[in-house]
């Protein structure tokens, strides 16, 4: 004799269209049946690295510029940031 309680099956959940599923079914399978999965529609803005390789290349180039002493003051950086914000907002 076992001390374990008998497990009850998951309840059926009826959908509006009359079909039913159980709570043990993965949600992804159910959602993909209801609505097709769309590709990411996000586009990367121009001037930004378009791939990981481009981003890593930009970082390497920035490190080389820093080593050569080609840096910007805080004031210059803040002005560049505000110029970017104005371009995006305008």
Using the predicted structure, report yes or no on whether residue 81 has a pLDDT greater than 70.
yes
pLDDT given at position 31: 47
Does pLDDT of 68 surpass 90?
yes
Residue extents of the structural domains in the chain: 60-89
**Full-model pTM:** 0.38
Q: How many residues does the chain have?
A: 90
CA distances 15 to 10, 12, 18, 19, 22, Å, are 15, 10, 5, 5, 11
What residues pair up with 21 in beta bridges, in sequence order?
A: 13
pLDDT in tens, 17-38: 666 655 554 555 444 455 555 5
pLDDT at 39 over 70: no
Average the pLDDT over each of 35-39, 65-69, 73-77 and give the range with the smallest value. 35-39
């Amino acid at each position: 004799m076992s001390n374990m309680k008998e497990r009850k099956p998951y309840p059926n959940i009826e959908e509006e269209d009359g079909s039913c599923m159980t709570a043990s079914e993965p949600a992804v399978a159910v959602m993909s049946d209801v609505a097709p999965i769309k590709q990411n529609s996000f586009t990367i803005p121009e001037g930004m690295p378009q791939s990981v390789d481009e981003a890593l290349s930009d970082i390497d180039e920035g490190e080389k510029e820093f080593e050569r002493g080609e840096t910007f003051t805080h004031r210059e950086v803040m002005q560049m940031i505000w110029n970017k914000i104005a371009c995006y907002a305008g």
